[in-house]
Homo-oligomer: A and B are copies of this chain.
Amino acid sequence: MSDDARDEETVTVAHGGGTGRTRDFLEDSVVPRFGGDADGLAVGLDALDDGAVHEVGDRSVVVTTDSHVVSPLSFPGGDIGRLAVSGTVNDLAVMGATEPLSLTCSLVVEEGVSVGLLEDVLDSMQAACEAAGCAVTTGDTKVMGSGDVDGVVINTTGVGVLPQGAHVPDAGLSPGDKLVVSGPVGDHGITLLAEREGFDIEGDLTSDVAPVNDLVAAALDAGTVTAMTDPTRGGLSTALNEMARKADVGALVDETAVPVRDSVAATGELLGIDPFDVANEGTVVFGVDAATADAVVDALRATPLGAEAAVVGEAVTEHTGRVVLDTGFGRRYLSEPEGEQLPRIC
């Protein structure tokens, strides 16, 4: 791009959507500056995985970070505090680090926010830490003037330690591997959107936001997990496309096998949003060696968050880098959502 064009291009909401425009920005602007191999870097920035993996002695150190800008701060099923802890615990977990070593808490707060509200958020972070069996051990607190930031922004960064080589990348699918989801999809995104639009007709929408490290540990114990990610921004569609693309396989998915709550499906239809396309915050997509897929699903179902876990498809040699959805009536490609209809979803 010419310098002039570069100077004129501006950041849009889509740059932060977690799908195509974000990936373009990462590939064009971030990876060329920060990417590249380095000694001991087992999973670097180029992989655009859920976190980085560094080899240290006989261990692997996993690092992951997310800033949370969700609006409203509180929503059915959670708030920014629970989201901030869960989001980072979950990125560690889907890299294979199910026992976080350290979590950070960096607050950027708008002047004038009530201390009570902030303490409620900290309470909820503490509760989520207890659920995940981890602790915040360091942090930072900055205040911006009224109008310089809206409410509260929280960055959480997580560090986990694994035996060396025990991490699980996004990219590990082989043809024949089963695709497993840990529970219903679309809950977080549809709930947030309905909440914002005053649209929760039945009042039974709830975000799935929760730490999934125990659920992931159960899966890792039960079988051979070859690939893992958490389908946050961009939803299941984006997660499956990325897994297929990164492993150079096709993904064949049985639409009717993917759990979606009735209320989520109905609200999604009303809002014109596909539950497959929106963020989840307590759900995992696994690639599992076919021989152990049933054992993994059984183990997931025995966990509190995994009752509706299901095999939803498999990796295939055809349709490299794409996701084919079998709708029950025919087949079509499942594409990633474009642009960004859902700013500040997480």
Question: What is A's interface to B at a CB cutoff of 8 Å?
Answer: 3, 6-17, 22, 25-26, 29-30, 33-34, 36, 38, 41, 44-45, 51-52, 54, 56-59, 61, 63-69, 71, 101-102, 104-116, 118-119, 122-123, 125-126, 129, 135-145, 147-150, 153, 155, 157, 159, 161, 343-344
Contacts and interface: CB of A to CB of B under 8 A. Distances in A.
A19 to B, nearest CB: 12
B13 A126 contact: no
Given A52-B138, A63-B104, A65-B140, 18 more contacts: A6-B114, A7-B116, A10-B114, A10-B115, A11-B111, A15-B141, A16-B142, A25-B115, A29-B119, A34-B122, A41-B135, A45-B136, A61-B159, A65-B105, A106-B157, A108-B108, A142-B344, A157-B157
A136 B7 contact: no
Contacts of A54: 101-102, 137, 159
Chain A contact residues: helix, strand, loop or mixed:
mixed
Contacts of A8: 114
B143 A65 contact: no
B343 A126 contact: no
29 contacts: A7-B114, A8-B114, A11-B109, A11-B110, A11-B111, A11-B112, A11-B113, A16-B144, A25-B141, A29-B122, A33-B125, A33-B126, A34-B129, A34-B136, A34-B139, A41-B135, A52-B102, A54-B102, A61-B101, A61-B159, A63-B104, A64-B104, A65-B104, A65-B157, A67-B155, A69-B148, A71-B148, A145-B343, A149-B149
A105 to B, nearest CB: 7
Max count, chain B CB within 10 A of own CB: residue among A122, A129, A157: A157
B67 A108 contact: yes
Given A61-B161, A159-B159, A112 B52 contact: no
B123 A41 contact: no
The 7 closest A-B pairs by CB, nearest first: A16-B143, A52-B137, A157-B157, A155-B155, A65-B104, A34-B136, A52-B138
